[in-house]
Chain A
Amino acid sequence: MSVLRPDLEIISHWIRPATRVLDLGCGDGTLLRHLQDTRQVTGYGLEIDPDNVVRSLQAGIQVIQMDVDQGLTPFADQSFDYVILTQALQVVRYPEQLLQEMLRVGREGIVTFPNFGHWRCRLQVAWKGRMPVSETLPEAWYNTPNIHLCTVRDFETLCRDQGYRTHSRQVVDSRHHGSWFMHFAPNLLGEIALYSLTGMKGTPPR
């Protein structure tokens, strides 16, 4: 039995048992499988990559091959308790619209992303004058799939402007550990940020 990636472990603690989950960009299906086993959730994982679709099938989840950049039109309003987007906000074409769609389809949205405001990123730009490359952002500017990078503060500004409410926030380092310091200076010290959100009208699942 492999150990779950710590950010996924944090997310799984936010999920109530026997709920309905939609996992956007479900990868190899690890998270959804874990939630099925430990939280008895039902739902689907959406994935675009053919190899990951096969891995998700092997993981025993209900995987749907589709491109979340095309929106979540097949899904009805508030038809899931949670819509999850882990480490993929920065690769989608329209993050603002996708967040909106997530909170239309789900009562609660869970988002994780690499924090571009981390001090190492800031140093690389400020001192070296180079685009940041780090453990959480390993690619160079010209071959990165990350086209919409943001900082913790950027993200929170967007949420405020859109009227989304934050229910939980946690920042962790690249090994997915949190600390007391990070809690007080998340935008400077957090490498990965995790949020649970609701829309203006949405209420979190009971």
Chain B
Amino acid sequence: MPPLDPPEPLTQTSPFPSDSVGLVAPQRMAFDIPLELEGGKRLDAYDLVYETYGTLNADRSNAILVCHALSGDHHAAGYHRPEDRKPGWWDVCIGPGKPFDTRKFFVVSLNNLGGCKGSTGPTSTNPATGKAYGPDFPIVTVGDWVNSQRRLGERLGIRQWAAVAGGSLGGMQVMQWSIHHSECVRHALVIAATPKLSAQNIAFNEVARQAILSDPDFHDGRYDEYGVVPRRGLMLARMLGHITYLSEDAMRERFGRELREGRIQFGFDVEFQVESYLRHQGTSFVDRFDANTYLLMTKALDYFDPAQEFGGNLAQAFATSQSQFLVVSFTSDWRFSSARSREIVNALMEVRKPVCYADIRSTQGHDDFLMPNPDYLHVLQAYMQRVAVEIGA
């Protein structure tokens, strides 16, 4: 596992925007109490890598847990190095004066188990063999993630989160928290999520997995031992994913039918700008992500169905929850459409839970939950202001 670099010392003239949390450094926490996984296997010991922004108050009531989506990680806000061009993945929402206002809240963001950014996962060393876990890393579920997140919270001395928040697969972790550990969650912010994947969602995931599994360089997941990476498979998986993250309008607006060379070449090289975009997204992803982790994450998505153990009744799943809810969807999101968020809202209203819901007018698609859409940020800001008042932050 690569060591985590300490941040450069802050200079007098900050190179970052004033509403940025600035330079941040990941931290690592080791756990040696075995974690029983829903799949029946067990992790005897594991590490979680996380970042924090803001300051935990004296009564430890101002903490927000941020849960990441499929390809996300612990780096949700700020910069690791002064020369970094891109901040963390949810920087539009986290920072001084932003919805998750770091002057009031203490924000915790972690890399989930099975990830490839420092928390124990397929690229970590398996203590039983001395080699990387690779395909032997057990399949983890949203429930397993939440259990590991609970331990992280306990170790940080946080008995109750002021809010647990996440988009997409992150929103599913929030739901899991609010159903099974609601006493630890004052407010649950479920954004661009769904109560379970549709057959179409699973179908897209399956094509992505097949792209990886059928890559000749995959070697049943032991590509590391062969000194290769299933580049083509992982790239295809990411390209496919990106199609589902964008709306048709957003694609038309960004790329239309623009040709890179200005005219048709009658060949199979990149001709249309959208092809160039997808290939770029695919190839850059290969350099920063692990194929086994991608497989695991898509499985966690597919398996998520919190209503299942309540006879398929989502309302019953929420019936004993003590959390208050904010549900947010985006009108142009066709991956997890507004209708799926309304299922969550309707279930919550059926069992008379405190819930607010905003369906944000948007153009970008599923990715909108990461975008600086003013309506979206105003909704989050107004809601988090309520949370701040409630906890006296």
Interface residues of A (CB under 8 A from B): 20, 42, 44, 50, 53-54, 56-58, 60, 62-66, 74-76
Give Cα distance in the complex from A62 to B383, angstroms.
10
Chain B 322-366 interface 0/1 with A at a Cβ cutoff of 8 Å (1 = within): 000000000000000000001001100110101111111100000
B378 within 8 A of A: yes
A60/B357 contact (C-beta < 8 A), A42-B352, A44-B349 known: no
Q: Which of A20, A66, A75 contacts B357 (CB 8 A)?
A: A66
Instruction: Give chain A residues whose Cβ lies under 8 Å from the Cβ of B225.
Output: none
How far is B386's CA from A60's CA once the two chains are assembled, in angstroms?
7
Q: Is B378 touching A74 in the complex (CB atoms < 8 A)?
A: no
Contacts of A64 in B (CB 8 A): 345, 349, 355-357
Known: A50-B375, A65-B357. 17 other contacts (CB 8 A): A20-B352, A42-B352, A44-B349, A50-B360, A50-B378, A57-B356, A57-B382, A57-B383, A57-B386, A58-B382, A58-B386, A62-B354, A65-B358, A66-B359, A74-B342, A74-B346, A74-B350
Residues of chain A within 8 A of B352, CB atoms compared: 20, 42
* Chain B residues near A74 (CB-CB < 8 A): 342, 345-346, 349-350
Interface positions of B (Cβ within 8 A of A): 342, 345-346, 349-350, 352, 354-361, 375, 378-379, 382-383, 385-386
The residue from B346, B355, B382, B385 contacting A62, defined by CB atoms under 8 A apart: B355
Main secondary structure of the interface of A (DSSP, over half): mixed
30 residue pairs bridging A and B, Cβ less than 8 Å apart:
A20-B352, A44-B349, A50-B361, A50-B378, A53-B358, A53-B379, A54-B375, A54-B379, A54-B382, A56-B356, A57-B356, A57-B383, A57-B386, A60-B386, A62-B354, A62-B355, A62-B356, A63-B356, A63-B357, A64-B345, A64-B356, A65-B358, A65-B359, A66-B342, A66-B359, A74-B342, A74-B345, A74-B346, A74-B349, A74-B350
Residues of A within 8 A of B375 (CB): 50, 54
Specify the main secondary structure of chain B where it touches its partner: helix
| Residue in chain A with minimal CB distance to B376 | A50
CB distance from B262 to the nearest CB of A (A): 41
**Residues of A contacting B359 with CB < 8 Å?**
65-66
Bound: A161/B2 CA distance, A: 77
Residue ID in chain A nearest B383 by CB atoms: A57
CB proximity of A56 to chain B, nearest CB, Å: 8
Q: Please determine whether A75 and B349 come into contact, CB atoms closer than 8 angstroms.
A: yes
Least CB distance, A189 to chain B, in whole angstroms: 40
**Measured CA separation A63–B356 after assembly (Å):** 5
Cβ B379 vs Cβ A76 within 8 A: no
CB distance from A68 to the nearest CB of B (A): 14
State the Cβ distance, B368 to closest chain A Cβ, in Å: 14
> Which B residues lie within 8 Å of A66 (CB)?
342, 357, 359
A58: nearest chain-B partner, CB-CB: B382
Distance (whole angstroms) from the CB of B40 to the closest CB of chain A: 38
> In the complex, A65→B379 CA distance in Å?
11
Partner of A76, one of B350, B360, B378, B385: B350
Shortest distance in angstroms between A25's beta carbon and chain B's nearest beta carbon? 15
Task: Looking at the assembled complex, report how far the CB atom of B369 sits from the nearest CB atom of chain A, in whole angstroms.
Answer: 16
Q: Which residues of B contact A53 (CB under 8 A)?
A: 358, 379
Among residues of A, the one whose C-beta sits closest to the C-beta of B354 is: A62
What are the 4 A-B residue pairs with the smallest beta carbon separation, nearest first? A57-B382, A74-B346, A64-B357, A54-B378
Shortest Cβ distance from B189 into chain A, in angstroms? 12
Residues of chain A with a CB closer than 8 A to B385's CB: 58
Q: Please give, as numbers and ranges, the residues of chain B lying within 8 Å of A60 by CB-CB distance.
A: 386
B158 CB to closest chain A CB (Å) equals: 25
Shortest distance in angstroms between B309's beta carbon and chain A's nearest beta carbon? 23
Residues of A contacting B349 in the complex (Cβ-Cβ under 8 angstroms)? 44, 64, 74-75
Q: Whole-angstrom distance between the alpha carbons of A115 and B342 in the complex?
A: 35
CA of A57 to CA of B387, assembled, Å = 11
Chain B residue at minimum C-beta to C-beta distance from A76: B350
